[in-house]
Amino acid sequence: MADRLQEKLKSLGTLPWQGGLWVLGGSFLLATLVNAVVAKSLFPKSPLTKGRLDSNSLALPSISASLSPSAVDTILKRNIFNAEGAAEDSEVKPQDFATEDETKAVKTTLSVRLIGTIYGGDPLSGAAIVENTSNKSINTFMVGDVLVQNATIKEVLREKIILDNNGRLEFVEVEKTKLVRSRRSRKKKGTVTPGIAPIANSPPPQKFSEDGFQRDGAKIEMTGEYRKKLLTTDFTKVLQDAKATPNMVDGELRGFQLTRIRSESIYEKSGLQNDDIIEEINGVSLNDTSQAIRLLQSLRNESSIELRINRGGSTMRFELSIQ
């Protein structure tokens, strides 16, 4: 029997797949050896080295604090895990979580009024529209800008701004107007409130002209005095005559979409329409909120402005020159 088995094994040695068996077996032995070496280096007392796994042989990273005490206190007060079995909290808005500077700030006595803010979730990258009540001027400010005297804007929040007034933290809030329901009968649908222009529902005319301003197609010309009036006397109206919404594509900013453009506004006079997306100004793509705000501020002194507009998927270019 042994002789016959030996002859059988010799005959197998002549088969072409003998080399494959040697390679397979060698690979298995090599993999086993590597695993044993790695296991021994990582777990000196592991079963692969004929010992027991000891929890004391594992080095765990030390626990370090990643939140400030005020942030931890805020989380505990919110009871986000409902640890006490209390009723669920109401919906939490981003502004519910006060920043550290906000909790220390006191109401300012400066002669300023906060008209509104552009807040994107980061208190360091927003913009604030502020009126100087002393000279009745309205301007847009960003974090780091001097508001009045030595007061510098430190944070821009959803409904307030934090100031550093000579080392003293102060805040200015948006004035909240109480809505009073009128006892008069409701207006019929389609009527317009006096003094407020209706939303533009039709495309603007191909041409438009008035004192200090004229447009022919996508080419616009205006005088310096006309622009100055837009940025001072009519600035509040300019802000209210249209709504600019960030145009997000795949989670990234791709310009700003214009909606609620009012009739006879500077937007309609310039040939812009509802749902137009402003993608680029003077060759700079509007893909960052803070960058876009800085760009708009720099346009105050520009004598030539070019807009790239996306209208229904088609690209248009508007050219504005200041005479």
Asked which of 156, 173, 190 is the last residue of a domain, the reply is 173
Segment-wise mean pLDDT, segments of 10 residues, the chain, 323 residues: 52 49 50 50 46 48 57 62 50 54 89 82 80 83 87 90 93 71 51 68 92 95 90 80 86 88 93 94 83 71 90 94 89
Q: Which domain holds residue 292?
A: 207-322
Domain assignment present for residue 17? The answer is no
d(CA 119, CA 228): 26
220 and 277 together in one domain: yes
* Domain containing residue 128: CATH number: 2.30.30.830
Closest listed residue to residue 274, CA positions, set 184, 170, 202, 172: 202
The pLDDT, as a whole number, for residue 261 is 93
Segments in 194-288 forming alpha helices (H): 224-231, 235-240, 266-269
225 and 276 together in one domain: yes
Question: Which phi and psi (to 5°) does residue 83 adopt?
Answer: -65, -25
The pLDDT, as a whole number, for residue 237 is 82
Domain assignment present for residue 247? The answer is yes
Q: For residue 179, give both structure tokens.
A: 């809505």
Burial class (CB in 10 A: 0-12, 13-18, 19+), 197: middle
**Do 201 and 222 form a contact (C-beta atoms < 8 A)?**
no
List beta partners, residue 128.
Answer: 117, 141
238 and 309 together in one domain: yes
Question: Cβ contacts of residue 123 below 8 Å, gap of 6+?
Answer: 99, 143, 155, 156, 157, 162
158 and 233 together in one domain: no
Domain assignment present for residue 187? The answer is no
296 and 240 together in one domain: yes
> How many beta carbons lie within 10 A of that of residue 202, not counting itself?
9
Residues in the chain: 323
111: Cα within 13 Å, side-chain hemisphere? 7
Burial class (CB in 10 A: 0-12, 13-18, 19+), 161: buried
- Count structural domains, the chain: 2
The pLDDT, as a whole number, for residue 286 is 86
Instruction: Specify the pTM.
Output: 0.49
Following DSSP, what letter does each residue of 5-53 receive, concatenated? HHHHHHHHTTSTTHHHHHHHHHHHHHHHHHHHHHHHHH-TTSGGGTS--
169 and 217 together in one domain: no
d(CA 245, CA 152): 27
d(CA 204, CA 221): 17
303 and 214 together in one domain: yes
The pLDDT, as a whole number, for residue 128 is 84
